[in-house]
Chain A
Amino acid sequence: DTEVTQTPKHLVMGMTNKKSLKCEQHMGHRAMYWYKQKAKKPPELMFVYSYEKLSINESVPSRFSPECPNSSLLNLHLHALQPEDSALYLCASSLQFVPGNPGELFFGEGSRLTVL
Protein backbone atom coordinates (compact mmCIF):
# COMPACT_ATOMS: atom_id res chain seq x y z
CA ASP A 1 0.00 0.00 0.00
CA THR A 2 1.78 3.13 -1.24
CA GLU A 3 -1.15 5.47 -0.87
CA VAL A 4 -1.76 8.63 1.03
CA THR A 5 -5.51 9.05 1.42
CA GLN A 6 -7.06 12.46 1.93
CA THR A 7 -10.64 13.29 2.86
CA PRO A 8 -12.74 15.08 1.87
CA LYS A 9 -11.77 15.58 -1.79
CA HIS A 10 -13.80 18.79 -1.92
CA LEU A 11 -14.89 21.14 0.84
CA VAL A 12 -16.86 24.37 0.71
CA MET A 13 -17.05 26.41 3.90
CA GLY A 14 -18.07 29.82 5.10
CA MET A 15 -15.73 32.14 6.94
CA THR A 16 -17.34 31.33 10.31
CA ASN A 17 -17.30 27.55 9.89
CA LYS A 18 -15.02 25.03 11.59
CA LYS A 19 -13.99 22.05 9.50
CA SER A 20 -11.16 19.51 9.32
CA LEU A 21 -9.12 17.88 6.61
CA LYS A 22 -7.89 14.34 7.20
CA CYS A 23 -4.92 12.40 5.89
CA GLU A 24 -3.98 8.76 6.39
CA GLN A 25 -1.04 6.57 5.35
CA HIS A 26 -0.16 2.99 6.19
CA MET A 27 3.36 2.83 4.80
CA GLY A 28 5.01 3.09 8.20
CA HIS A 29 6.27 6.58 7.39
CA ARG A 30 7.24 8.70 10.38
CA ALA A 31 7.13 12.11 8.69
CA MET A 32 3.96 13.77 7.47
CA TYR A 33 3.48 17.11 5.79
CA TRP A 34 0.81 19.63 4.87
CA TYR A 35 1.28 21.67 1.71
CA LYS A 36 -0.92 24.38 0.20
CA GLN A 37 -1.13 24.76 -3.58
CA LYS A 38 -2.84 27.61 -5.40
CA ALA A 39 -3.80 27.25 -9.07
CA LYS A 40 -0.81 27.13 -11.42
CA LYS A 41 1.59 27.58 -8.48
CA PRO A 42 3.96 25.11 -6.81
CA PRO A 43 3.12 23.50 -3.47
CA GLU A 44 4.07 25.57 -0.42
CA LEU A 45 5.06 23.85 2.78
CA MET A 46 2.87 24.58 5.80
CA PHE A 47 3.72 22.02 8.50
CA VAL A 48 5.98 19.03 9.09
CA TYR A 49 5.41 16.35 11.71
CA SER A 50 8.19 13.96 12.64
CA TYR A 51 7.43 11.05 14.93
CA GLU A 52 4.10 12.70 15.75
CA LYS A 53 5.74 15.93 16.92
CA LEU A 54 5.48 19.24 15.10
CA SER A 55 8.92 19.94 13.62
CA ILE A 56 8.20 22.80 11.25
CA ASN A 57 5.54 25.49 11.13
CA GLU A 58 6.20 27.79 8.18
CA SER A 59 4.65 30.81 9.92
CA VAL A 60 1.17 29.60 9.09
CA PRO A 61 -1.73 31.69 10.50
CA SER A 62 -3.34 30.23 13.61
CA ARG A 63 -6.64 29.72 11.77
CA PHE A 64 -4.90 26.56 10.49
CA SER A 65 -4.28 24.08 13.30
CA PRO A 66 -2.50 20.79 12.58
CA GLU A 67 -2.82 17.66 14.65
CA CYS A 68 -1.08 14.30 14.46
CA PRO A 69 -3.05 11.84 16.64
CA ASN A 70 -0.81 8.89 15.69
CA SER A 71 1.85 7.93 13.19
CA SER A 72 -0.71 7.12 10.48
CA LEU A 73 -3.02 10.10 10.78
CA LEU A 74 -2.67 13.81 10.17
CA ASN A 75 -5.44 16.37 10.52
CA LEU A 76 -5.70 20.02 9.59
CA HIS A 77 -8.32 21.93 11.56
CA LEU A 78 -9.74 25.00 9.86
CA HIS A 79 -11.45 27.91 11.59
CA ALA A 80 -12.36 31.45 10.53
CA LEU A 81 -10.73 31.08 7.14
CA GLN A 82 -10.58 33.81 4.51
CA PRO A 83 -11.52 33.51 0.82
CA GLU A 84 -7.82 33.76 -0.08
CA ASP A 85 -7.27 30.48 1.79
CA SER A 86 -9.11 28.69 -1.02
CA ALA A 87 -6.60 26.23 -2.48
CA LEU A 88 -5.67 22.58 -2.90
CA TYR A 89 -4.35 21.23 0.40
CA LEU A 90 -1.93 18.37 -0.09
CA CYS A 91 -0.82 15.88 2.50
CA ALA A 92 2.44 14.01 2.02
CA SER A 93 4.49 11.47 3.91
CA SER A 94 8.06 10.22 3.86
CA LEU A 95 10.03 7.53 5.64
CA GLN A 96 11.69 10.04 7.93
CA PHE A 97 12.16 13.76 8.21
CA VAL A 98 15.79 14.74 7.62
CA PRO A 99 16.24 18.51 7.28
CA GLY A 100 17.67 19.26 3.85
CA ASN A 101 17.22 15.71 2.53
CA PRO A 102 13.55 15.03 2.02
CA GLY A 103 13.82 11.60 0.45
CA GLU A 104 10.78 10.52 -1.52
CA LEU A 105 7.60 12.35 -0.62
CA PHE A 106 4.37 10.48 -1.30
CA PHE A 107 1.53 12.91 -1.93
CA GLY A 108 -2.19 12.40 -1.57
CA GLU A 109 -4.61 13.65 -4.22
CA GLY A 110 -5.43 16.69 -2.13
CA SER A 111 -8.49 18.33 -0.63
CA ARG A 112 -9.83 21.19 -2.73
CA LEU A 113 -11.04 23.88 -0.35
CA THR A 114 -13.30 26.78 -1.27
CA VAL A 115 -13.96 29.49 1.32
CA LEU A 116 -16.99 31.65 0.63
Chain B
Amino acid sequence: QKEVEQDPGPLSVPEGAIVSLNCTYSNSAFQYFMWYRQYSRKGPELLMYTYSSGNKEDGRFTAQVDKSSKYISLFIRDSQPSDSATYLCAMSGSARQLTFGSGTQLTVLP
Protein backbone atom coordinates (compact mmCIF):
# COMPACT_ATOMS: atom_id res chain seq x y z
CA GLN B 1 0.00 0.00 0.00
CA LYS B 2 1.31 3.45 -0.93
CA GLU B 3 1.64 5.99 1.87
CA VAL B 4 -0.38 8.53 -0.13
CA GLU B 5 -3.13 7.52 -2.54
CA GLN B 6 -4.56 9.91 -5.11
CA ASP B 7 -6.94 9.16 -7.98
CA PRO B 8 -4.95 9.95 -11.15
CA GLY B 9 -8.05 10.87 -13.16
CA PRO B 10 -8.20 12.25 -15.75
CA LEU B 11 -11.04 14.45 -14.57
CA SER B 12 -12.97 16.66 -17.01
CA VAL B 13 -15.49 19.24 -15.85
CA PRO B 14 -17.34 22.11 -17.53
CA GLU B 15 -16.33 25.68 -16.77
CA GLY B 16 -17.97 26.97 -13.61
CA ALA B 17 -18.24 23.54 -11.95
CA ILE B 18 -17.10 22.79 -8.42
CA VAL B 19 -14.14 20.42 -8.48
CA SER B 20 -13.29 18.05 -5.64
CA LEU B 21 -9.84 16.48 -5.48
CA ASN B 22 -8.92 14.00 -2.77
CA CYS B 23 -6.07 12.08 -1.20
CA THR B 24 -5.92 9.43 1.47
CA TYR B 25 -2.87 8.52 3.48
CA SER B 26 -1.76 5.85 5.88
CA ASN B 27 1.01 7.47 7.96
CA SER B 28 -0.47 9.06 11.10
CA ALA B 29 2.78 11.03 11.59
CA PHE B 30 1.85 13.40 8.76
CA GLN B 31 0.96 16.84 10.12
CA TYR B 32 1.59 19.23 7.22
CA PHE B 33 -0.59 18.98 4.16
CA MET B 34 -0.13 20.74 0.87
CA TRP B 35 -1.63 20.99 -2.59
CA TYR B 36 0.59 21.76 -5.55
CA ARG B 37 -0.54 22.64 -9.06
CA GLN B 38 1.62 21.60 -11.99
CA TYR B 39 1.00 22.87 -15.49
CA SER B 40 2.30 20.80 -18.38
CA ARG B 41 6.08 21.05 -18.73
CA LYS B 42 6.38 23.32 -15.69
CA GLY B 43 7.48 22.83 -12.09
CA PRO B 44 4.89 22.42 -9.31
CA GLU B 45 3.66 25.56 -7.52
CA LEU B 46 2.23 25.60 -4.02
CA LEU B 47 -1.50 26.33 -3.83
CA MET B 48 -2.45 25.55 -0.25
CA TYR B 49 -0.55 24.72 2.94
CA THR B 50 -2.34 23.50 6.06
CA TYR B 51 -1.29 22.18 9.43
CA SER B 52 -3.26 19.46 11.21
CA SER B 53 -7.04 19.15 10.77
CA GLY B 54 -9.46 21.82 9.60
CA ASN B 55 -10.34 23.98 6.64
CA LYS B 56 -8.45 26.72 4.87
CA GLU B 57 -9.85 28.98 2.19
CA ASP B 58 -7.99 31.10 -0.35
CA GLY B 59 -10.11 32.70 -3.04
CA ARG B 60 -11.76 29.95 -5.09
CA PHE B 61 -9.74 27.23 -3.35
CA THR B 62 -10.61 25.44 -0.11
CA ALA B 63 -8.42 22.79 1.50
CA GLN B 64 -9.83 20.37 4.06
CA VAL B 65 -7.94 17.99 6.29
CA ASP B 66 -9.56 15.21 8.32
CA LYS B 67 -6.80 13.54 10.28
CA SER B 68 -9.18 11.10 11.97
CA SER B 69 -10.07 9.67 8.56
CA LYS B 70 -6.62 10.32 7.04
CA TYR B 71 -8.29 12.16 4.19
CA ILE B 72 -7.58 15.51 2.58
CA SER B 73 -9.49 17.42 -0.08
CA LEU B 74 -9.10 20.40 -2.34
CA PHE B 75 -12.21 22.15 -3.64
CA ILE B 76 -12.12 24.53 -6.57
CA ARG B 77 -15.19 26.76 -6.98
CA ASP B 78 -16.21 28.37 -10.26
CA SER B 79 -13.55 26.38 -12.12
CA GLN B 80 -11.87 28.05 -15.08
CA PRO B 81 -10.04 26.64 -18.12
CA SER B 82 -6.87 28.12 -16.62
CA ASP B 83 -7.29 25.65 -13.73
CA SER B 84 -6.52 22.80 -16.14
CA ALA B 85 -3.40 21.19 -14.70
CA THR B 86 -2.21 18.27 -12.60
CA TYR B 87 -2.91 18.67 -8.89
CA LEU B 88 -0.55 16.96 -6.47
CA CYS B 89 -1.26 16.47 -2.81
CA ALA B 90 1.80 16.33 -0.57
CA MET B 91 2.34 15.79 3.13
CA SER B 92 5.07 15.51 5.72
CA GLY B 93 5.64 15.31 9.44
CA SER B 94 7.75 13.93 12.26
CA ALA B 95 11.03 14.24 10.34
CA ARG B 96 9.49 12.49 7.33
CA GLN B 97 10.25 14.25 4.10
CA LEU B 98 7.62 15.54 1.72
CA THR B 99 5.64 12.67 0.21
CA PHE B 100 3.64 13.41 -2.93
CA GLY B 101 0.51 11.76 -4.23
CA SER B 102 0.59 10.58 -7.83
CA GLY B 103 -1.37 13.63 -9.03
CA THR B 104 -4.84 14.15 -10.56
CA GLN B 105 -5.02 15.51 -14.10
CA LEU B 106 -7.84 18.07 -14.35
CA THR B 107 -9.29 19.57 -17.53
CA VAL B 108 -11.84 22.38 -17.31
CA LEU B 109 -13.74 22.65 -20.56
CA PRO B 110 -14.86 26.10 -21.77
Interface residues, chain A, with chain B CB atoms under 8 Å away: 4, 40-43, 45, 48, 56, 90, 92, 99-102, 104-110, 112
Write out the residue numbers on chain B whose beta carbons fall within 8 Å of the beta carbon of A99. 95-97
B100 at the interface (CB under 8 A from A): yes
Q: How far is the CA of A86 from the CA of B44 in the complex (A)?
A: 19
The number of residue pairs between A and B whose CB atoms lie closer than 8 Å in the complex comes to 58
What chain B residues lie within 8 Å of A56 (beta carbons)?
A: 97
Known contacts A4-B43, A109-B43: does B97 contact A42 (CB below 8 Å)?
no
Other-chain residue from A4, A90, A102 in contact with B98 (beta carbon distance below 8 A): A102
Find chain A residues with CB under 8 A from B46 CB. Answer: 104-106
Closest CB in chain A relative to B69 CB, distance in Å: 22
Binds A, one of B11-19, B57-65, B77-85, B86-94: B86-94
Given contacts A41-B102, A107-B45, 4 further A-B contacts (CB under 8 A): A42-B88, A100-B97, A102-B98, A107-B44
Q: How many residues of B contact A (CB 8 A)?
A: 23
Residues of B within 8 A of A (CB): 8, 31-32, 34, 41-46, 49, 88, 92-98, 100-103
Main secondary structure of the interface of A (DSSP, over half): loop
Bound Cα distance from A102 to B99, whole angstroms: 11
Q: In the complex the two chains form, what is the Cα distance from A45 to B92 in whole Å?
A: 13
- Is A43 within 8 A of B100, CB to CB? yes
Q: Given A104-B49, A110-B43, verify A40-B97 contact (CB < 8 Å).
A: no
Chain A's nearest CB lies how many Å from the CB of B31?
A: 8
Pair A100/B44 contact, Cβ less than 8 Å: no
Q: Taking CB as reference atom, which chain B residue is nearest A9?
A: B41
Instruction: Report yes or no: B8 in contact with A42, Cβ–Cβ below 8 A.
Output: no
The 7 closest A-B pairs by CB, nearest first: A107-B43, A42-B100, A99-B95, A100-B95, A102-B98, A107-B44, A104-B46
A56, B49: Cα distance in complex, Å: 23
